[in-house]
Amino acid sequence: MKKFIIKGPNKAVKGEVDISGAKNSCLPLMAASILFKNKVTLTNVPFVKDVYSMMNLLISLGSKVDFSEAKKKMTITNKKNHKLVVPYNLVSTMRAGVLTMGPLLSRYQLKNIQVSLGGGCLIGQRLQNHHLAGFKSLGALNYLEKGYINISSKKGLTGSKYKFPKVTVTGSSNVIMASIFAKGIHYIKNISIEPEVIDLINFLNNSGADIKFIGRRSIVIKGVKELIDGEHTIIGDRIEAFSYLCVGAITNRKIRVKNINPYYLKTEINILRKIGYKISINESSITLFSRKKLKPIKIKTGPWPSFATDNMPSLLAVLTKVVGKSQIEETIFSNRFMAAPELNRMGAKISIKKNKAIIIGQKKLISADCISSDLRTTFSIILGAITAEGSSTISRIYHGLRGYYNLELKLRKLGIKIISKN
């Protein structure tokens, strides 16, 4: 099993990082290809593990997938009907498999669709109840049997009204895709407005869908009969961008991230500035500069435009080096602080009280052997190891490879002393 060995402290960190396409945008866009009777072309594709898993899932359903990693390009072609069973072995390591429910239901309304309950990171409950309730509002019935969600609509889907009880990213994407071919008009309230959801909406509209905002978190979808061939360039990955900005923050060195819209990280940029870092932005890049005076902070996560829960573990690591008492309140996932015990092994002082992390920042961390448990925890531990004195070994690094493209190479280009070992 692959491990990273990082020798710290890395005092020569500097440079710039080309940010890849957003994994969290790419996966729903790939799922949306099911809606098309012919071809979808995606560019700026991040060929991470989760993307390959989704490719295999689509192929198993009957889609043809051609790709060029060098060109960051993927073409998905549907010439025949899809299979309507998404098996467990294809979703066991990737929760995004549930995103196939909406497009399969929309395109094959009168047939029974079976989607296995998925896997992914163990960061808290990710129930599909809100997805299913959204499908029910369109006239679809569902039941759970032997680990599979069965969904169908005997009379076809018809628009009505639905309000999400809480903001959900995958739920919003799923119900939006399910509504594309429904009869009439469907109103959806309290949707996610994360940049990745907006990216999906833009793609669908450019392909012939009719989705309009009628409020900040309210949309109306007018059903259409078909979509035209889709072409789309995936937005830059705001989570990856912030992660690498945190490399600069925790080492207090200048780092520039490119190919990212700073608007997607407006809250994160403000937080870094409140801590004391100088931040410079332009249309497609963000630069963090070193600063002598840093101060602790009190923040909480939330749906966009609030501070992203996916960015929280990286900031958690940064705050271990900001002298003073900081606090992070997690409002999205119940088990998001799994990086804390590993950082504490390096000498950090983090205590967890319910959904809050109290961080007593200090100047020094020491090396340790650590185990990664999920995607974002991986990068948090890496950040700690970068500044810790001595060599740290990080096991189960495959979690990080699910979402960070060319992780080792990008870190090495910044001056990080890192090697991989099986």
- What is the tens place of the pLDDT at every residue in 284-298? 999 999 988 999 999
* 253/225 same-domain check: no
* 69/142 same-domain check: yes
* 271/299 same-domain check: yes
The interaxial angle of helices 49-61 and 23-32, nearest 10 deg, is 10
* 45/131 same-domain check: yes
Residues 375-396: pLDDT tens digits?
999 999 999 999 999 999 999 9
Q: What is the rounded average pLDDT for all residues in the chain?
A: 94
* 78/163 same-domain check: yes
* Percent of the chain clearing pLDDT 70 (strictly above): 98
Helix/strand/coil percent split, the chain, to 5? 35, 30, 40
Q: Which H helix or E strand runs over 39? A: strand 39-43
Give the domain-ending residue among 176, 207, 233: 233
Give the domain-ending residue among 233, 257, 290: 233
Both tokens of residue 117?
Answer: 């309950």
3-state secondary structure of 226: coil
Is the model's pLDDT at 119 over the cut of 80?
A: no
Higher pLDDT, 42 or 422: 42
* 148/90 same-domain check: yes
Report residue 127's pLDDT band, with 50, 70 and 90 as the boundaries.
low
**What is the set of active-site residues?**
121
Asked if 416 contacts 13 with a C-beta cutoff of 8 angstroms, the reply is yes
Residues 309-318: pLDDT tens digits?
999 999 999 9
* 175/307 same-domain check: no
The predicted structure's pLDDT at residue 72: 98
d(CA 275, CA 296): 6
Nearest CA to 96 out of 3, 225, 196, 226 is that of: 196
The sign of the CA dihedral 129, 45, 15, 373 is positive
Residues 140-184: pLDDT tens digits?
998 888 888 899 998 999 999 999 999 999 999 999 999 999 999
Residues 6+ apart with CB under 8 A from 296: 275, 319, 322, 323, 324, 325, 326, 359, 361
Report residue 91's pLDDT band, with 50, 70 and 90 as the boundaries.
confident
Report residue 226's pLDDT band, with 50, 70 and 90 as the boundaries.
very high
Report residue 123's pLDDT band, with 50, 70 and 90 as the boundaries.
very low
Both tokens of residue 397?
Answer: 């690094």
Report residue 118's pLDDT band, with 50, 70 and 90 as the boundaries.
low
* 209/285 same-domain check: no
Quickly tell me which residue has 């900005």 as its tokens.
Answer: 245
Among 116-120, 133-137, 142-146, the range scoring the smallest mean pLDDT is 116-120
CATH code at position 30: 3.65.10.10
* Percent of the chain clearing pLDDT 90 (strictly above): 85
* 180/250 same-domain check: no
The number of CA neighbours under 13 Å toward the Cβ of 210 is: 14
Residue 9, preceding peptide bond in cis (omega within 30° of 0): yes
The CB density around residue 324, as the number of other CB atoms within 10 Å, is 13
Report residue 344's pLDDT band, with 50, 70 and 90 as the boundaries.
very high
* 15/70 same-domain check: no
* 207/305 same-domain check: no
Region 251-268 average pLDDT? 97
Give the domain-ending residue among 208, 233, 258: 233
Among 113-127, 149-163, 224-238, 358-372, the range scoring the smallest mean pLDDT is 113-127
* 8/90 same-domain check: no
Is the model's pLDDT at 347 over the cut of 90?
A: yes
Domains in the chain: how many in total?
A: 2
Is the model's pLDDT at 120 over the cut of 50?
A: no
Residues 396-420: pLDDT tens digits?
999 999 999 999 999 999 999 999 9
Both tokens of residue 363?
Answer: 């100047």
Nearest CA to 376 out of 331, 323, 340 is that of: 340
The whole domain housing 284 covers 3-20+236-421
